[in-house]
């Protein structure tokens, strides 16, 4: 089943023509409404009339997360404030979060993209779908929620936490679909085991998983544990939220909602566009967004684009799984974490030396972040005889990290000069999750 056959199965020529028209309109709007973009376009000697087809996109400047931070909070907004009906904010940025405002039309397009994804996963209005992405500033919860409602299925806004109650509802309400992070799906199965509930006691049959990298091994484990079919859904808050792309039943990559988000792959070093089939950094241009449209936004996600025919009948370009990042961002329990955020917390505490190591493990299917940091010599008398008691310091650090990162971390204070110093590439992060 296909939600919007006209847009999901367009001929390549028609799609490119539509994209070209939308790009021209977008550049015109940005040129006239967003001083940041007008300057960038003028600096590059480009006027909206230079954009005659989608091929002209390569003439346009890139946008980075730093540009979003520099224009905090509303500098990139392209419409009057009165048109904005919802604002989300990113997790995991140093300093200012990334603010994204949506107009009514943006929310309606997002709900349509989400409905396309859910339909592609085989979900219909007969289903009951529990949304267990976090509700709030994160786009996962509300994004999926509106999609389920748009489709006409029943939504159960479970959010995260209260997992035992959630398991009970899955069983008692005969919930058939679930949308959550893949690691939460694994955690759910642990909770089911603890409660003595098996996959035969529940009616779940399909899951929409994303917001963090996951492998085919995880897919099989989730499918076996829950007795469901597991689909990948991708997105990022700067562009829209979940449903920038979604898998179909063929599961050979995820179809991009290309009539709204134009994808490119670039070499992250040279910034030159790469052809289909080559791995590089994903870049998106929002072709129809009104609230905060972005030109050639560098996602930092590494992937591959495929343009071959898909057996499902959809013609939209597909992207491969996210294979990594071209920056050092970690995704821990679905929350984006930059090492620089942790570093700034450590350096704000006088007892901490600037020598630290971050270790990420997966324990009982949950990500655990451990921050090891050396104490400064002047606070460290001898042995573990310290001027500030270790537990006081550890607790202080834990609280500060929690308030900055929105996730809890374990903290281990180390004696001075005990963490390995590396001469070459820093070994700051040890990721034992093996998700790649
Ligand atoms: O994670 C939006 C989302 C919510 C997507 C629910 C899917 C489901 P952000 O918090 O802005 O938005 O994080 C975006 O998460 O750049 C990727 O690095 C990563 N990511 C998202 N989906 C996937 C996926 C949401 N399916 C960042 N596979 C992106 C791998 C993913 N990584």
Say yes or no: CB of residue 92 within 6 Å of ligand 1: no
Centre of ligand 1 to C-alpha 319, Å, is 14
Q: Which residues contact 409 (CB under 8 A, 6 or more apart)?
A: 342, 369, 370, 371, 398, 401, 402
Say yes or no: CB of residue 242 within 6 Å of ligand 1: yes
Mean pLDDT over each residue of the chain, to the nearest integer: 93
CATH architecture of 330-434: 2-Layer Sandwich (3.30)
388 secondary structure, DSSP code: S
Question: Ligand 1 atom closest to Cα of 208?
Answer: 8
Q: Give the model confidence (pLDDT) of 24-48 as tens digits.
A: 999 999 999 999 999 999 999 999 9
Say yes or no: CB of residue 233 within 6 Å of ligand 1: yes
Q: Give the model confidence (pLDDT) of 168-188 as tens digits.
A: 999 999 999 999 999 899 889
Pocket test for ligand 1, best of 234, 284, 323 (most atoms within 8 A of CB): 234
Query: What average pLDDT does range 192-201 have in this prediction?
Result: 97
Query: What average pLDDT does range 193-211 have in this prediction?
Result: 97
pLDDT at 363 exceeding the cut of 80? yes
305: closest CA among 241, 236, 248, 258? 258
Lowest mean pLDDT: which of 95-99, 164-168, 188-192, 265-269?
95-99
Which residue(s) pair with 128 in the sheet? 154
Say yes or no: CB of residue 241 within 6 Å of ligand 1: yes
Q: Do domains 8-328 and 330-434 have the same CATH topology?
A: no
Centre of ligand 1 to C-alpha 123, Å, is 21
Pocket test for ligand 1, best of 130, 235, 298, 334 (most atoms within 8 A of CB): 235
Is the distance from CB of 28 to CB of 263 less than 8 angstroms? no
The residue written with tokens 């809890």 in the block is 408
Question: Ligand 1 atom closest to Cα of 213?
Answer: 30
Q: Give the model confidence (pLDDT) of 51-74 as tens digits.
A: 999 999 999 999 999 999 999 999
Which pair of structure tokens corresponds to residue 251? 């599961």
Pocket test for ligand 1, best of 140, 146, 184, 236 (most atoms within 8 A of CB): 236
φ, ψ dihedrals at 435, nearest 5°: -95, -10
User: For domain 8-328, which CATH number applies: 3.40.50.1820, 3.40.50.12780, 3.40.1620.10, 3.40.50.280?
Assistant: 3.40.50.12780
Is the distance from CB of 55 to CB of 294 less than 8 angstroms? no
Say yes or no: CB of residue 91 within 6 Å of ligand 1: yes
Which pair of structure tokens corresponds to residue 210? 């994303």
pTM of the predicted model as reported, rounded to 2 decimal places: 0.91
The residue whose CA has the least distance to atom 16 of ligand 1 is 236
Q: Which residues contact 119 (CB under 8 A, 6 or more apart)?
A: 1, 2, 3, 151
- SS3 (DSSP) at 268: coil
Query: What average pLDDT does range 217-233 have in this prediction?
Result: 95
Say yes or no: CB of residue 406 within 6 Å of ligand 1: no
- SS3 (DSSP) at 197: coil
Question: Ligand 1 atom closest to Cα of 254?
Answer: 26
Which residue(s) pair with 370 in the sheet? 359, 410
Centre of ligand 1 to C-alpha 209, Å, is 10
The residue whose CA has the least distance to atom 9 of ligand 1 is 236
Query: What average pLDDT does range 388-416 have in this prediction?
Result: 91
Q: How confident is the model at residue 146 (pLDDT cuts 50, 70, 90)?
A: very high
Lowest mean pLDDT: which of 41-50, 123-132, 198-207, 340-349?
340-349
Where do the domains of the chain lie? 8-328, 330-434
pLDDT at 256 exceeding the cut of 80? yes
Which pair of structure tokens corresponds to residue 288? 């129809």
Does 73 sit behind a cis peptide bond, omega within 30 degrees of 0 on the bond before it? yes
């Amino acid at each position: 089943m296909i939600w919007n056959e006209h847009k999901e199965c367009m001929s390549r020529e028609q799609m490119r023509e539509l994209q070209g028209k939308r790009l021209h309109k977008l550049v015109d709007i940005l040129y006239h409404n967003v001083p940041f973009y007008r300057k960038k376009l003028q600096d590059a000697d480009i006027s909206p009339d230079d954009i005659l087809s989608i091929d002209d996109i390569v003439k346009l400047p890139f946008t980075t997360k730093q540009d979003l931070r520099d224009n905090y909070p509303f500098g990139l907004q392209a419409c009057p404030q009165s048109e904005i009906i919802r604002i989300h904010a990113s997790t995991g940025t140093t300093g200012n979060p990334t603010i994204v405002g949506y107009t009514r039309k943006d929310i309606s397009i997002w709900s349509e993209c989400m409905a396309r994804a859910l339909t592609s996963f085989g979900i219909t209005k007969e289903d009951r779908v529990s949304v267990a992405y976090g509700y709030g500033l994160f786009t996962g919860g509300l994004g999926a929620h509106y999609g389920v409602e748009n489709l006409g299925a029943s939504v159960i806004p479970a959010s995260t936490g209260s997992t035992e109650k959630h398991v009970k509802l899955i069983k008692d309400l005969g919930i058939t679909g679930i949308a959550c992070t893949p690691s939460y799906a694994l955690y759910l199965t642990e909770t089911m085991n603890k409660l003595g509930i098996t996959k035969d006691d529940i009616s779940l049959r399909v899951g929409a998983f994303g917001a963090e990298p996951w492998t085919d091994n995880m897919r099989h484990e989730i499918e076996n544990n829950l007795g469901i079919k597991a689909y990948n859904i991708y997105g990022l808050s700067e562009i829209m939220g979940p449903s920038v792309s979604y898998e179909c039943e063929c599961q050979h990559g995820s179809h991009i909602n290309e009539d709204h988000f134009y994808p490119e792959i670039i070499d992250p070093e040279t910034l030159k566009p790469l052809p289909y089939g080559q791995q590089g950094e994903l870049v998106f241009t929002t072709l129809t967004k009104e609230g905060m449209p972005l030109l050639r936004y560098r996602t930092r996600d590494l992937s591959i684009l495929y343009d071959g025919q898909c057996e499902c009948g959809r013609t939209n370009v597909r992207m491969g799984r996210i294979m990594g990042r071209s920056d050092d961002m970690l995704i821990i329990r679905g929350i984006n974490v930059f090492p620089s955020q942790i570093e700034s917390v450590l350096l704000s505490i006088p007892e901490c030396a600037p020598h630290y190591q971050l270790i990420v493990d997966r324990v009982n299917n949950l990500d655990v972040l451990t921050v090891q940091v050396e104490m400064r010599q002047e606070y460290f008398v001898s042995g573990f005889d310290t001027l500030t008691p270790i537990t006081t310091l550890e607790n202080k650090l834990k609280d500060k990290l929690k308030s900055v990162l929105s996730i809890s971390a374990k903290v281990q204070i180390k004696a001075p000069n005990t963490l390995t110093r590396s001469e070459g590439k820093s070994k700051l992060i040890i990721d034992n999750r093996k998700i790649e």
